[in-house]
Structure 1
């Protein structure tokens, strides 16, 4: 196995990453581009990608992951862009991996986790020759709906001691979403929060917000993955954790099923969905530090078939 520090250009930014090649890659191996989740995700996506990278290398896949714009060794600022900009970065990562000696250009796919799933789907839908796409813990709903679901779970499970407190905090969240839809500036959003008394429970959603992040969330909040799901022309494997507190899994399954049955969906755009009972947002069972082992086995088995 070889691990290399790499850089590639995407639009006006330079993205830094790591390229891992299995031994014997000169014979031609398939490849995977890993796309991290929300926030300042770097090439390891915290601790989620290293065991995945190791497993894929053992299965003789080349693996490329990279620091998001403005993170680690990458230039730019993800908060100044859109999900479409991040999808452009993912497409350029695919082109870069396809160009590497020993990698089969026709056998490179995208893997996106959480927000990275939305990004990977958008990138894959815009490529006519995508081999496949895998998403993990990717919501089938908009970011606004997903964040509200996550906030409600947080409020009910940790901080607040009355349904009234929960309802008031969720009402404030709804007002901030409407402010975003009307393109309110950050100062106006702060006035809304201050007028509501800055309920502590909102910190789950609001604590790290500044003007640049508020702008990114406004541009992102009503993203609908349906169009990208319909635009796929390659097989799609979706993993979901059955007890994921951040993603409305049942609603996501309904969206995936409805899209898969649409007549305009190309026949090569097959859909495989695996829900791991008891698993969380990172596909871990309770008390586990890494994803459920059957997830890795299912992933590489599906990849070999495609």
Structure 2
């Protein structure tokens, strides 16, 4: 196991200060490539719970510098993710990338973004805005909108509770659709809550609605119809899209079709190739059977693909 230097760091994005951890291989004689890890939805910290820990360790041992950070309003970062737009979150990822590229151990031209789940949308938005990235990686990132993705996840959750064909599945999904339409009408939170109360607050809806308050409702309304396709069409770098074949949170087949359609579009720059890897048996976190074990071959696939898409350093050591 290689020695790793771990350093707590802070950097600024607009009006917020973000806190994170920088991991660098100690033995590196030359400047190394770098990876910024962008966490998923909700209050994601720098380790995305514990999910990022084995990814961080593997990438550092493979010779990459790795920066991960607390989402705004989480951990030691200031601000509030619930008031943030997708552009705000993308600006945070861009600030993290700029900070990583400024480190003396890192090749600036060989550092890119890795986004998990919602963080994939963030990484795509940040990547579409620039032409200096060597690559972008999305991990369990939906190709559909948040509203469609949440409906898919809720449907799978309800099937697990009730079994196929139970009438409560249809009624709860109908209530979800009513909440989505209320969001599109910019309804206030009491109006949305009244819809839930009038429907008897079905227990299965708690999967989606259990933590929703006024501030989170504003965030959900703002985000629900985000479309990743415009960002996919503007990509100017290779894209690796990773999925678990048993993901019940993201519609994998639909997402792959959307990613592929964007890659085939005449407007997409030629350098923006698409590589898709689906790991059978992997869930939303590319783990197996609800355990913390990542699916076999996943970590090696990530590090090998990144190594193959890194621009070799021409400047020697730094």
Is TM more than 0.5 here? yes
Tell whether 2:14 aligns with 1:15.
no
Tell whether 2:31 aligns with 1:28.
yes
Tell whether 2:200 aligns with 1:197.
yes
Q: CA RMSD in A?
A: 1.1
Q: 1:160, 1:185 → 2: CA distance?
A: 33
Structure 1 unaligned spans of 5+? none
In the alignment, which of 91, 94, 99 is matched to residue 97 of structure 2? 94
Q: Is this contact kept in 2: 1:236–1:270, CA < 8 A?
A: yes
User: What's the counterpart of residue 133 of structure 1?
Assistant: 136
Q: 2:232, 2:77 → 1: CA distance?
A: 29
In the alignment, which of 119, 123, 127 is matched to residue 116 of structure 1? 119
Tell whether 2:188 aligns with 1:185.
yes
Q: 2:56, 2:287 → 1: CA distance?
A: 16
In the alignment, which of 167, 176, 179 is matched to residue 176 of structure 1? 179
Tell whether 2:225 aligns with 1:222.
yes
User: What's the counterpart of residue 271 of structure 2?
Assistant: 268
Q: Is this contact kept in 1: 2:149–2:249, CA < 8 A?
A: yes
Flag as ranges the 4+ runs of structure 1 deviating above 4 A. 159-162
> After the TM superposition, which of the residue ranges 288-297 and 265-274 deviates more from structure 2?
288-297
In the alignment, which of 121, 145, 148 is matched to residue 148 of structure 2? 145
Q: Deviations over 1:21-40 (max 9, x none)?
A: 01134520000000000000
Q: TM-score, normalised by structure 2?
A: 0.94
Tell whether 2:7 aligns with 1:4.
yes
In the alignment, which of 20, 39, 43 is matched to residue 40 of structure 1? 43
User: What's the counterpart of residue 258 of structure 1?
Assistant: 261
Q: 1:143, 1:291 → 2: CA distance?
A: 25
User: What's the counterpart of residue 296 of structure 1?
Assistant: 299
Q: State the shift of 1:290 in Å.
A: 2.2
Q: State the shift of 1:161 in Å.
A: 8.0
Q: State the shift of 1:160 in Å.
A: 6.5
Q: 2:29, 2:105 → 1: CA distance?
A: 4
Q: Deviations over 1:255-290 (max 9, x none)?
A: 011111101111110100000011100111225422
Structure 2 unaligned spans of 5+? 310-318
User: What's the counterpart of residue 67 of structure 1?
Assistant: 70
Q: State the shift of 1:162 in Å.
A: 5.5
Q: Is this contact kept in 2: 1:7–1:17, CA < 8 A?
A: yes
